[in-house]
Amino acid sequence: MAETLLFAVLMLLASLHDSDGSLRFASYYGDHMVLQKSPERAVLWGYGPEGAQVTVSLSGPINHKTLPVTVTEGIWRVSLNPVDAGGPYNVTAAIHNSTVILTDVLFGDVWLCGGQSNMYFQMSQIFNASEELALAAKYPFVRTFMAALNLSKTEQIDLILVELPWSVPTSGNLVSFSAVCWLFGRYMYDYLKYPIGLVESCWGGTPVEAWSSSRALQQCGLGQTEDSPKDENSVLWNAMIHPLLNMTLKGAIWYQGESNANYHQDNYNCSFPAMIDDWRMAFHQGSGGQTAMDFPFGFVQLSTYQKESTDNGFPEIRWHQTADFGFVPNPRMKQTFMAVALDLPDATSPYGTIHPRYKQDVAYRLTLGARAVAYKEKDVPFQGPFCNQIILTQTYVHITYDQEVSVTPSKDIFEICCSKIKEQCGPKSLWVPAPIIQWDLKTVQLSISSCPSDEVAALRYAWRDWPCDFKACPIYSASGILPAPPFIANQYQRYGP
């Protein structure tokens, strides 16, 4: 059913797509590419003369030939049999008088990397860029592809332009590639030891609305906007995501949210989860069911911007990135993983403090989440500590965490809302510091001396734009590697996984 519906859409859109009738693959297939390995089936499609019979064959460690398919409305499409990780292969599409060949094709896991400027942030801009780029030649089985920046008012069947065709990594072609995307792929290769394909499709300064389909936005009551072109609803979904839907993916990683700190901020707890759900549905249908309906989706919780800021934009978006649970996976955002980054500020970044150069830590934390969520590795720590019990007494707040913690003293990282009114506390409420006074393996005790105990209405942690210095937040996992994410708890309900 899904394949029939998709093919009908392909034919309709193909009639609007420029094609000279020659046999060719779609824009995002090419030499050196990575196709999704078994147990999924890789999908291949392209253009050809109307009515021609296209056969696709695979030659390499194994040989495979598909049944002929007919070019209809200028489009052909096939699904290969499942192929184990490895290669290289030649992939040949043939009609009676013409062939096109893709060479050096590998099978492995394909990850899509999306978002705004911190995902677009290039390898040449990170700390230790020269050393990182020099390692490129050691990872010939991690292949890269980059979509060009384009907008569209309507859903496109194919990419309008390609910025970087599929490539074997070199220090030269990685210079402008996404640092988070590349480092994530490199670290995953070190773990998996088989090919990784990285598809970069991101644009700086863009809100989630631009990357979302109209149906996803409708779920959150978001209509059209009259802001700058790339802020218009769905224009990047149309031009830079929709064309990729036929591709079989393993998963996606995402770094975005800064542009929503002051734009539809209150909707982000709906719009971001809705976008994830919609991408999953669309890629599943677009690949004929080969991309999982709940494919793994990792994201970076926002880092920092302004050190002395009292604006609630970044704290609110961090919370909304988790659908207001504070952690993932959660009941609203299943099969997701998160890299907490609020402890990675970069006060001297030449690209602005909103663009920290510590992308290795971000990618490593994403890798831990992928190993646990996408690859089901047991006992891999990937979440920082989160409170699962808060008890208020006459003189202190007692917090119990879901794991052992490493604690350093702080006078103001925790805050309590002091209120005589029995209503949920918000940004304009009176928040006062609650100093850490003692702790043990899994608990932290806070002083509430600045507020009468019967007026303590809520508690929050790290609820500011720039809550701590580099890797110096007060609460980490026992290993000291994973920071506790921020949280806000009203009326001392139970929170946590």
CA distance 359 to 250: 22
Quick one: average pLDDT of 427-440? Answer: 95
Structural tokens at position 420: 């005589």
Residue 295 CB-half CA count within 13 A: 27
Q: What is the pLDDT of residue 223?
A: 77
CA distances to 47, 55, 99, 196, 257 from 96, rounded to whole Å, are 15, 9, 8, 34, 50
CA distance 81 to 75: 20
Going by pLDDT thresholds of 50, 70 and 90, the confidence category of residue 20 is low
Structural tokens at position 149: 């920046």
CA distance 242 to 231: 17
Quick one: average pLDDT of 470-492? Answer: 93
Answer whether residue 203 shows pLDDT above 80: yes
Domain boundaries, the chain: 2-103, 107-374, 387-490
CA distances to 42, 134, 228, 458 from 141, rounded to whole Å, are 18, 16, 39, 50
Task: Give a three-class secondary structure readout of the chain.
Answer: CHHHHHHHHHHHHHCCCCCCCCCEECCCCCCCCEEECCCCCCEEEEECCCCCEEEEEEECCCCEECCCEECECCEEEEECCCCCCEEEEEEEEEECCEEEEEEEEEEEEEEEEEECHHHHCEHHHCCCHHHHHHCHHHCCCEEEEEECCCCCCCCCCCCCCEEEEEECCCHHHHCCCEHHHHHHHHHHHHHHCCCEEEEEEECCCCCHHHHCCHHHHHCCCCCCCCCCHHHCCCHHHHHHHHHHCCCCCCEEEEECCHHHCCCCHHHHHHHHHHHHHHHHHHHHHHCCCCCCCCCCEEEECCCCCCCCCCCCHHHHHHHHCCCCCCCCCCCCCCCEEEECCCCCCCCCCCCCCCCCCCHHHHHHHHHHHHHHHHCCCCCCCCCCCCEEEEEECCCEEEEEECCCEEECCCCCCEEEEECCCCCCCCCCCCEEECCEEEECCCEEEEECCCCCHHHEEEEEECCCCCCCCCCCCCEEECCCCCECCCEEEECCCCCCC
Q: What is the pLDDT of residue 426?
A: 87
Going by pLDDT thresholds of 50, 70 and 90, the confidence category of residue 8 is very low
Please determine whether the domains at 2-103 and 107-374 fall in the same fold group of CATH: no
Q: What is the pLDDT of residue 160?
A: 97
Contact 212, 278 (CB under 8 A): yes
Answer whether residue 423 shows pLDDT above 90: no
Tens of pLDDT along 215-236?
Answer: 999 999 997 665 555 668 999 9
Count of Cβ atoms closer than 10 Å to residue 161 Cβ: 10
Going by pLDDT thresholds of 50, 70 and 90, the confidence category of residue 493 is very low
Tens of pLDDT along 286-321?
Answer: 999 999 999 999 999 999 999 999 999 999 999 999
Angle at 213 between CA 375 and CA 236, to 5 degrees: 90
CATH number 2.40.30.20 given to 107-374: no
Q: What is the pLDDT of residue 63?
A: 95
Q: What is the pLDDT of residue 117?
A: 98
Tens of pLDDT along 342-375?
Answer: 999 999 999 999 999 999 999 999 999 999 999 9
CATH number 1.10.150 given to 2-103: no
Q: What is the pLDDT of residue 7?
A: 40
Q: How far apart are the first and last CA of the chain?
A: 37
Q: What is the pLDDT of residue 494?
A: 39
Structural tokens at position 376: 């089901």
Alpha carbon of residue 26 to chain centroid = 24
Q: What is the pLDDT of residue 402?
A: 96
CA distance 29 to 461: 46
Quick one: average pLDDT of 466-485? Answer: 97
Answer whether residue 404 shows pLDDT above 90: yes
Quick one: average pLDDT of 450-478? Answer: 95
Tens of pLDDT along 120-176?
Answer: 999 999 999 999 999 999 999 999 999 999 999 999 999 999 999 999 999 999 999
Tens of pLDDT along 236-295?
Answer: 999 999 999 999 999 999 999 999 999 999 999 999 999 999 999 999 999 999 999 999
Q: What is the pTM of this model?
A: 0.93
Instruction: Provide the pairing of β-strand 64-65 with 43-47.
Output: unpaired
Least confident of 273-282, 376-385, 446-455, 475-484: 446-455
Cis omega (within 30 of 0) for bond into 140: no
Q: What is the pLDDT of residue 228?
A: 55
Answer whether residue 329 shows pLDDT above 60: yes
Q: What is the pLDDT of residue 229?
A: 56
Contact 444, 485 (CB under 8 A): no
Contact 258, 196 (CB under 8 A): no
In the chain, the percentage of residues whose pLDDT exceeds 70 is: 93
Q: What is the pLDDT of residue 492?
A: 41
